[in-house]
Structure 1
Amino acid sequence: MNEKEVICGLYPRVSTEDQVREGFSLDEQEESMKRLCDYKKYKIYKIYREEGVSAKNMKRPKFQEMVQDMKDGKINKIIVYKLDRLTRSIQDLEFICNLLGETNCSLESICEELNTETSTGIFFMRMTTILAQLEIERTSERTKFGLAGAIKKGHLPYRACLGYKHENKMLVPNPLTKDIVVRIFELYHSGMSYQKISNLFNKEKVLGKENWCDSTITTILQNEVYKGDFVHGKRTKNPIYYKDVVEPIVSRELWEECQVQKKKNSRSYIRNLTYLFLQKLKCPHCNRIMGGKATKKKNGNVYYYYYCTDCKCNIKEETIENYIKNFIDDIVEYDSVVNQFFLPMIKQKFENPIEQLEKEIKELKAKDERLKQAYLEGLFLLEDYKKEKKNIDKNIECLKNKIVDAEVSDELRFTSEDILLKRDIDFINKIKYPDKYQDFNKFWKDYTQEEKAELIMRYVDEIELDKVNNKYEVKYVKFRESICKPMTELENQGYLDKKVQIFGNFAGYMRFSEYLPFDKISEHIIRLRQFYDVRFYEAEYYVQDQVFKFELDENKTDIVRVFPMKDYKKMDSQNKKDIHNYGVLYVNKNNELYKASEDVVFKYIPDICDSVTFSREPITIDVKPITYDELYDNEETIVEA
């Protein structure tokens, strides 16, 4: 190679971001560098064209190829359009400077005066790179700041996942698909695996698909968006967590409990037998989750046990079941009366507002018109038009059905007072018709092994054991937040019972409610009296002695409910008063005066038609007065007809 001859490698580079921001393309860079070489009589050895690659590091194919040619002595000068086309990193610049010295190469830029053969030139080149890197970091900060603000407003920079849609650039629940997501979480929460859920969806052809797979279900269950949160850069070293940025589809408690369930399921495998407390029991010695085993006797009975392989301890399933029986009875009652009837109706009213559903139908009809117009203009074939129209019609029909459900829910207008009424009627039914009550209601003993396991899976988080006198006993039961929170709320409102030990002339546990306003209690009594001859009595509770004084005969009276007449939690939170007054609802045991038939009281469902209005003042009724003569004339006319 002639020492005086300058042999160049041209290095044009652009990323998509650079081209948009600064407006120079690869072709423009290449053309400018060729003109420079032609003017200075440089010989071009090769053009290392780097397209769509960032300069944040040196892991660039064409750059590495150019470095190798420098080391091999094939070029002695590098031509770039701007220095930041070569690098934007100070660390990489040091490598390049050292490489230029080692290979006797020089660097020339069209836009900057660079002289890499002097210390001043090297200093200037370093300063230029520092400024370029500073600009990149400032741009990155502005981008991140703007992105954070957008995310906090619900503008997520990704396509909408199942159950959501983009509306005015915001991510909002999609009424057409959000119920599918809710169902996935509830099925998994109840104990179904990813595989069983995907198989079920394929069998039912959910969304018209038969390709549901385990990974799809897993992705949905792990997505924080469904509880209202968003993680930006989830797979990076420094992810950013944004809380409550979109409207959630499932509750935070349900989402978290599914993650706990996922960790437990990772240790499980397919079993032929159903264990009630599998993945729920903790070893009292090592605190590990206990496994299950079963023995089958000659008579065909199966006995279940739980054991810890490390600590060699085991406990019968029957022992645990007997210990938590009282808790389980409450859960069964909650699940059957509240969760499976009232709450879905109330949930329907909040999750599917009629206005939103009607808006969705209007949008789909507009889409249908656009689709029809596009077909008439010949933009696609009749077959494609029919297929798209069929999907639109199906979605409209689905939304119309939801509107009907929402309208029925509005008509029913179930309230927490309805829950209280239904529960008291059921309690009196249990007293008056014990045999039919047993037949009409399903209790824990009536559940199959699979149904019991499903209920435990849904509501119990874990059970801790303890060793007492060489025997293993249940130390405590931790219920899931998804049941504790609503039960506590309903109890605090007085609509779920607390069983309180009563001391005095009545022994045992009684159904106790928190304070309810006088008007609410009065309405409740009036509604109850449509079915049973319910009486009211005011009793005294002696605070210091913790004793009730009832002027009622226990042998002749069944107490339905006890409740404070005043809000003593606020009025006397320190229990400094001597006496608290309590209201008592009761029925006489021997009173055969039933105001409704046996079938009516068992099949009764609260309705707006049986609601009452209680008032201390006379209520004006909007009825037009009529004279006796007018009434007589009307009656006579009817007879003549």
Structure 2
Amino acid sequence: MDAIYTRQSVDKKDSISIETQIELCKREVTGASYKIYQDKGYSGSNTNRPDFQAMLRDIRNGLVNRVIVYRLDRMSRSLLDFANLIDLLDQYHTSFVSTQEKFDTGTPMGRAMLSITMVFAQLERETIQLRIRDNYYARGEKGMYLGGPPPYGFQKAETRKDGKRFKYLEPIDTEAEVIRQMYEMYGNSLYTLGEVARALNDNGYQTHTGKEWSGSKVGLSLKNPVYVRSDIRIYQYYKNKGCQITSEPDLFMGTNGCYLYGRRKGNERKYSTFAEHVLSLAPSEGFIDAELFLKCQRRLDGNMQLDNSAWGQLTWLTGLIKCAHCGYAAVPKSSNGGRYYYLYCSGRAMHCCDVATNLGQSKDVEAAVEQRIFQIVRKYGTIPVEQHRKISLEANRLKAQIQHCRNQIDKLIDMALDSDGVTGTYLNERMEELDKRKTKLESRLAEAEAGDTAVTEKQMDSFLQDWPKLDVRHKNELARMFIDHIDVSKEEITIFWKHNFGEGELPL
């Protein structure tokens, strides 16, 4: 029996129909009987097609002498899948005929030409995919919205640019306010993703599809940079994550949101890297401050989560306290049946520290740090937010210029490696000029940031109002908003702040 196989993924004006394929294949039938297998609406990227699988079963049962197709790509667009199919046909002494390429695997030359053709067919397919992807991202660089349902807080709008239709995102004021509440709850309080979702549902807010919010949906919204007023910190955050950024750093001036394109691997629970993603500035303005956006990213990245080990539940200083002598973590260990906990350097076990005694009781260190935190809160809690915003804008402008200098220097280094002696001399001179400019900009940035000691009033209020009733985990999260790390020795405690409060040395 001859088997005629036909496939058509979608109906198009320029695509050949199932019926036409069948008529062309019938001309190659030589036996008295044939059977038609047809898969309409199925892609050739894989072999999960009902009639294709039925044909394979008939081949294995010895019912098929020849397989006839209109073209090779009707069978499969994957070289590996096609190679496996040819192996199966050889195993059951079944030949293969293509009406257009005129291949007959009943001959050695036919088999050789078939293999060569499939290699070039896959190369063509992959080249087309690459060209489509590049064109897709190029449209994103121009500010076009590249399709799919709009994110919550936006609706699709259309205009014309250079004679072409241009789709972009337009904010919806009522939904934008819900997004603001979402970021505030997660970034400036102790809500978990699930608790944020429940709060939104309790207030009657629904997603675009009319469904309730869930923790995962909230997390996706918090990860979307389309909402953020993108400044140089946003540029650096995604650059450090390995993201390809199409917009120049000096365009990140704290106004527009960003489009992030790319596909996360299915086995990744978190966005730990953006190596295969592209970031472009969007034409729409953002409505979430960069600082609040990054604060949410740090929580989502896991940087602000408490250690789940046993000693992680013993002190809210977990992950913050380090031995002042060697820099290794200081960990609490119990004494007298667990009544008292003393801090010991973890570096001793690896022979990296020679501190023979403990670093003091953990409760005493907690009390000293807590006292210093509250001094900071009361001292800086009344700084006007507007003053902080002006300083931040100037710092952002300087950071953008510094990043631009770095990018230019990197390009010149690559050019110098491939240049001759004369050209290399000019490139080196240009690099020296850029390096001097970068040094001056960094000096001005240091001066600007020296005056930037503001933390939002809501953060301060969180300490004053919530601290007494917080558990260990939540105290740790709140403390991490302010403290980078704490060096502890038998004689003193030194707090290294994330903001420009200065180092506080507290005697034990």
Task: Please say which of residues 308-317 and 198-207 is displaced more in the overlay.
Answer: 308-317
Distance verdict in 2 for CA 1:81–1:444, change over 3 Å: closer
Q: How does 1:523-542 map to 2 (within 5 A)?
A: none
Q: Does the alignment pair 1:251 with 2:292?
A: no
Distance 1:444 1:112 in 2: 75
CA contact (8 A) 1:282 1:463 kept: no
Q: How does 1:507-546 map to 2 (within 5 A)?
A: none
Displacement of 1:34 in angstroms is 4.1
Report what 1:543 is aligned to: none
Secondary structure class of the residue paired with 1:170: strand
Report what 1:212 is aligned to: 213
CA contact (8 A) 2:327 2:487 kept: no
Displacement of 1:230 in angstroms is 0.4
Displacement of 1:160 in angstroms is 0.6
Q: Does the alignment pair 1:195 with 2:194?
A: yes
Distance 1:11 1:289 in 2: 69
Secondary structure class of the residue paired with 2:281: coil
Deviations 1:445-470 (A, max 9, x none): 994344998999398343422233x2
Distance 1:444 1:180 in 2: 22
Displacement of 1:59 in angstroms is 4.5
CA contact (8 A) 1:315 1:472 kept: no
Distance 2:463 2:76 in 1: 75
Displacement of 1:267 in angstroms is 4.1
Distance 2:211 2:331 in 1: 37
Q: Unpaired segments of 5 or more residues in structure 2?
A: 159-166, 229-257, 268-274, 309-313, 335-339, 348-357, 394-459, 503-508
Distance verdict in 2 for CA 1:289–1:158, change over 3 Å: farther
Deviations 1:384-432 (A, max 9, x none): xxxxxxxxxxxxxxxxxxxxxxxxxxxxxxxxxxxxxxxxxxxxxxxxx
Report what 1:47 is aligned to: 36
Larger Rg: 1
Distance 2:149 2:371 in 1: 51
Deviations 1:63-113 (A, max 9, x none): 333233223211111011112212334444433333333322111222232
Distance verdict in 2 for CA 1:147–1:240, change over 3 Å: same
Q: How does 1:22-421 map to 2 (within 5 A)?
A: 22-34=14-26, 36-37=28-29, 40-44=30-34, 46-154=35-143, 155-168=145-158, 169-190=167-188, 191-206=190-205, 211-227=212-228, 228-235=258-265, 239-245=276-282, 247-262=285-300, 263=302, 266-267=305-306, 281-284=320-323, 314-316=362-364, 317-334=366-383, 337-338=384-385
CA contact (8 A) 1:8 1:79 kept: yes
CA contact (8 A) 1:226 1:248 kept: yes
Distance 1:343 1:452 in 2: 31
| Amino acid in structure 2 at the alignment position of 1:251 | D
| Amino acid in structure 2 at the alignment position of 1:254 | L
Distance 1:74 1:56 in 2: 26
Given candidates 7, 22, 29, the residue that maps to 1:13 is 7
Secondary structure class of the residue paired with 1:158: coil
Secondary structure class of the residue paired with 1:466: strand
Report what 1:478 is aligned to: 498
CA contact (8 A) 1:280 1:461 kept: no
Distance verdict in 2 for CA 1:308–1:267, change over 3 Å: farther
Q: Does the alignment pair 1:462 with 2:461?
A: no
| Amino acid in structure 1 at the alignment position of 2:97 | E
Distance 2:182 2:344 in 1: 32
Distance 1:445 1:114 in 2: 75
CA contact (8 A) 1:264 1:279 kept: no
Deviations 1:199-225 (A, max 9, x none): 322332235978333222222223343
Secondary structure class of the residue paired with 2:496: strand
Distance 2:92 2:494 in 1: 78
Distance verdict in 2 for CA 1:445–1:176, change over 3 Å: closer
Displacement of 1:308 in angstroms is 8.3
Distance verdict in 2 for CA 1:308–1:214, change over 3 Å: farther
Distance 1:259 1:267 in 2: 16
Task: Please say which of residues 258-267 and 145-154 is displaced more in the overlay.
Answer: 258-267
Distance 1:444 1:83 in 2: 69
Distance verdict in 2 for CA 1:103–1:56, change over 3 Å: same
**TM-score normalised by L of structure 1:** 0.47
Distance verdict in 2 for CA 1:86–1:474, change over 3 Å: same
Displacement of 1:13 in angstroms is 1.2
Secondary structure class of the residue paired with 1:11: strand
Q: Unpaired segments of 5 or more residues in structure 1?
A: 1-6, 270-274, 294-303, 348-442, 488-497, 499-641
User: How many residues are paired up?
Assistant: 355
Distance 1:342 1:465 in 2: 26
Secondary structure class of the residue paired with 1:239: coil
Report what 1:615 is aligned to: none
| Amino acid in structure 2 at the alignment position of 1:222 | K
Distance 1:59 1:259 in 2: 39
Report what 1:448 is aligned to: 465
Distance verdict in 2 for CA 1:147–1:60, change over 3 Å: same
Distance 1:264 1:136 in 2: 42
CA RMSD of aligned residues (A): 4.3
Distance 1:126 1:447 in 2: 73
Task: Please say which of residues 203-212 and 107-116 is displaced more in the overlay.
Answer: 203-212
CA contact (8 A) 2:69 2:99 kept: yes
Distance 1:184 1:204 in 2: 12
Q: How does 1:541-556 map to 2 (within 5 A)?
A: none
Distance verdict in 2 for CA 1:89–1:8, change over 3 Å: same
Displacement of 1:188 in angstroms is 0.8
CA contact (8 A) 2:3 2:67 kept: yes
Displacement of 1:266 in angstroms is 4.9
**TM-score normalised by L of structure 2:** 0.58
CA contact (8 A) 2:104 2:110 kept: yes
Distance 1:163 1:451 in 2: 36
Secondary structure class of the residue paired with 1:176: helix
Distance verdict in 2 for CA 1:90–1:444, change over 3 Å: closer
1 or 2 for the larger relative contact order (CA 8 Å, sep ≥6)?
2
